[in-house]
Amino acid sequence: MEASVEQLVYVREDAYTVARMSADGVPDFVAAGRALGEVQPGETLRLFGEWSTHPRHGRRFAVSACERVTPSSVRAIRIYLGSGLIRGIGPRLAYAIVDHFGEATLKVIDAEPERLTEVVNIGPQRRSQIVQAWLEQKAIAALMVTLQGLGVSPLLAAKIYQVFGPDADEVLAADPYQLIGRVRGIAFRVADKIALQSGVPERSPQRVKAALLDRLEAAGSRDGHCFVPVAALVRETAELIEQDQELVRPMVDALVGERRLVVEAAPDRPGQAVAYAKHVHAREVALTEQLTRLARARSTLPLRAFREDPELHDDQRAAVNMALTSTLSLLTGGPGCGKSHTVKAIATTVRAAGGTVTLTAPTGKAAKRLSELTGLPAMTVHRMLAQQPDPDPETLFDERPAQADLIVVDEASMLDLHLATRLTAAVPSGSHLLLIGDSDQLPSIGPGDVLADLLRVTEIPRVQLTHVFRQAGGSGIIDAAHRIRAGRSPAVGGGFWFEELDDPEQVARRVAHLAMVAIPRKQQVEPDQVQVLCPMRRGETGATALGRLIQDQLNPTADGKAEHWSGATVFRVGDRVMPIRNNYDKGVFNGETATVTAVVQEERMIEIRTDDGESVRYGFDELDDLTHSYAISVHRSQGSEYPFVVAPIVAESGGIMLRRKLLYTLVTRAKAWVVLVGQREALELAVHRVGHRRNTGLARRLALSLQG
């Protein structure tokens, strides 16, 4: 039968979809099945399947296959136009257009668009907007058919069209590997599927080169590596494309000749060669040059004799002296060791001497926390690099914050190779750059391990704060953190709790209950004061599943509440969300938190309000840049601090993410309480597993450069 999609009820990551639908003679029914994956409200479908009875949800239509068709009845056309699929047409305007043109509506929009001005409230500008949106929707629909024929998710059609526009069909036909890295959601496997279906030979140089570059990119995005040993790269590429290594090896040389790959001797493995992606190698070399320049520069810091703070501990005094006398220096230490107080002492001394100071951190949350702990203004590294003047004349910043006499970067373990290169390039010679961090925390999400690499270079001055102050020493969280970093099991009490459960499904339910009910009730706080952190994104206790469980309880679907499904994710008014990519045009940065304030189908966008009060709009085609923040990965929590933290600890998928740095980072995100729920053996695994070291050449390059 033919039916119109009224509302998506549930979408699973494997595309299993439940939808409310309507058809002539069956005005309201539920359909379900994986074949429905990627449909949108308003679309008309030809459904194939049979009626069945679900044990919990009753009668529904089990869909075995479906086809998109052009709506033909007045009712179906009205649903289609009023759904927001065509930008610029909302429910009211859809009713007016269909009321005027009836069953001929879509033919008029397609063949006689000038007649749209016959409808009240449609002028030339609105007509042009509708026609443009209609043409885009037609092109995307055609791409969907093409992709379905190639066995690829049709949801990618809109993303491909967004990047390539009218040339999308030509790109698919000529070189599908162009999609990799340019269209979100398309890695090698998807592009390769399209290419092979389109007739690209399995042994073509084009395919082998794309696979080589994909393995390099995966090593950076998955494991944070800057390079991969050539032998391993060849082996992994051959396995990926199921070809012999003899076919792959010559393509390494070909990519080097095309200046897309750099091969050089391994930093610490004599006789071995390693491969870098060209842009990663260029940044590692550039970062080495910038750090060498800063370290060798003559200080321009205007300092007179300074008075030592008698309240400082000996190692804090050493840190102050280091920061004031070295143009490049490192300050490390665990929780409760007085890093923030030391920063305040350094900044106060520089200001007293007439110098300028800029305090920064990689994320907005980390910058805000730095400001709260020091009592001094702070900004994100991104904002500093944009060199925007601060609106408050009483702050420490001048109009060019990257030109300050002293630049302090907190949470430096979060600096990846790319951001560190941009940062150091912006700092003038003679300014002092102080990097502060905890080397026992997780490294950056992006490639590189900058702080750890710099700590391996003995020529760079550094101070490690080790004294735990009395007011911090009684904290169960800080005690647990120091025990974890030493490879010992944490002790329960004083704000650190462990609740043992074995079954992952029970763990997930318990974590959700603690976050939504138990802790808010006991502490008399709102649920948004409790943050769920997850070692993994997938699985029953992963951030995706737990986030959906909590969302459905705290902000369920309701009549009159606007919502929009993007793949297997639904955004509702009232949802807590987080940008996961920096967007300088919108003024939002990775790690900020916000609330969805509007879902406007007619304009195909949602509006969010950040916790700083800024309103920002995201188009439906930009929603990959947002994630829900009901439950987030430990990596996403870096630089942030929460009053209460709850986390599952289970060895799902072999517990591949469970390691000491992750557990240490998780525990140190909490101010008052951290509650771990899960398996005792998983906790012990996390405490004792050290994890791999990232492949980088920065430490060796910098040591040689500073010695030269």
Q: What values do phi and psi take at 570, rounded to 5?
A: -110, 130
Distances (CA, A) of 226 to 218, 284, 446: 10, 8, 10
DSSP classification of residue 108: H
Range of lowest pLDDT (178-192, 199-213, 294-308, 551-565): 294-308
Residues annotated within the binding site are 336-340
Q: pLDDT at residue 185 above 80?
A: no
Read off the pLDDT of residues 268-307 as tens digits, 9 standing for 90 and up.
777 899 999 999 999 999 999 999 999 999 999 887 666 7
CATH code for the domain defined by 474-555+572-688: 3.40.50.300
436 CA to centre of own chain: 23
pLDDT grade for 653, boundaries at 50, 70 and 90: low
Q: pLDDT at residue 392 above 50?
A: no
Kindly state the average pLDDT of the residues 464-492.
84
**Among 307, 344, 296, 299, residue whose Cα is nearest residue 324:** 299
With beta carbons less than 8 A apart as the criterion, state whether 639 and 369 touch. yes
Per the structure block, which two tokens stand in for 304?
A: 């007179």
Kindly state the average pLDDT of the residues 368-386.
87
**Among 550, 639, 555, residue whose Cα is nearest residue 593:** 639
Measured CA to CA, the distance from residue 478 to residue 446 in angstroms comes to: 28
| pTM as predicted | 0.87
Kindly state the average pLDDT of the residues 547-571.
92
Predicted confidence at residue 475, as pLDDT, reads 78
Q: pLDDT at residue 361 above 90?
A: yes
Distance spanning both ends of the chain, measured CA to CA: 77
pLDDT grade for 30, boundaries at 50, 70 and 90: very high
Domain ranges of the chain: 1-66, 205-280, 297-386+401-469, 474-555+572-688
pLDDT grade for 91, boundaries at 50, 70 and 90: confident
Predicted confidence at residue 332, as pLDDT, reads 96
Kindly state the average pLDDT of the residues 336-350.
91
Measured CA to CA, the distance from residue 674 to residue 683 in angstroms comes to: 14
Residues annotated within the binding site for ATP are 336-340
Read off the pLDDT of residues 153-180 as tens digits, 9 standing for 90 and up.
766 888 888 889 888 888 888 889 999 9
Q: In this predicted model, which residue has the larger pLDDT, 400 or 116?
A: 116
CATH topology of domain 297-386+401-469: Rossmann fold (3.40.50)
Q: pLDDT at residue 473 above 90?
A: no
Q: Residue 361's beta-bridge partner residues? A: 380
Predicted confidence at residue 394, as pLDDT, reads 40
Predicted confidence at residue 303, as pLDDT, reads 73
Kindly state the average pLDDT of the residues 339-350.
92
Q: pLDDT at residue 391 above 70?
A: no
Crossing angle for the helix pair 339-352 and 314-325, to the nearest 10 degrees: 40
Predicted confidence at residue 471, as pLDDT, reads 55
Query: What kind and span of H or E run contains 170?
Result: helix 168-174
Other CB atoms within a 10 A radius of the CB of residue 137 amount to 15
Predicted confidence at residue 393, as pLDDT, reads 37
Other CB atoms within a 10 A radius of the CB of residue 672 amount to 16
Predicted confidence at residue 389, as pLDDT, reads 44
Q: pLDDT at residue 593 above 90?
A: no
Kindly state the average pLDDT of the residues 186-192.
91
Predicted confidence at residue 51, as pLDDT, reads 94
State percent of the chain over pLDDT 90.
62
State percent of the chain over pLDDT 70.
96
Predicted confidence at residue 507, as pLDDT, reads 96
Measured CA to CA, the distance from residue 27 to residue 43 in angstroms comes to: 15
CATH code for the domain defined by 205-280: 1.10.10.2220
Per the structure block, which two tokens stand in for 131?
A: 């026609």
Kindly state the average pLDDT of the residues 409-415.
95
Predicted confidence at residue 176, as pLDDT, reads 92
Q: pLDDT at residue 549 above 80?
A: yes
Q: pLDDT at residue 398 above 80?
A: no
Predicted confidence at residue 493, as pLDDT, reads 87
330 contacts: CB under 8 Å, gap ≥ 6: 412, 434, 435, 436, 437, 451, 454, 455, 460, 461, 462, 463
Q: In this predicted model, which residue has the larger pLDDT, 414 or 391?
A: 414
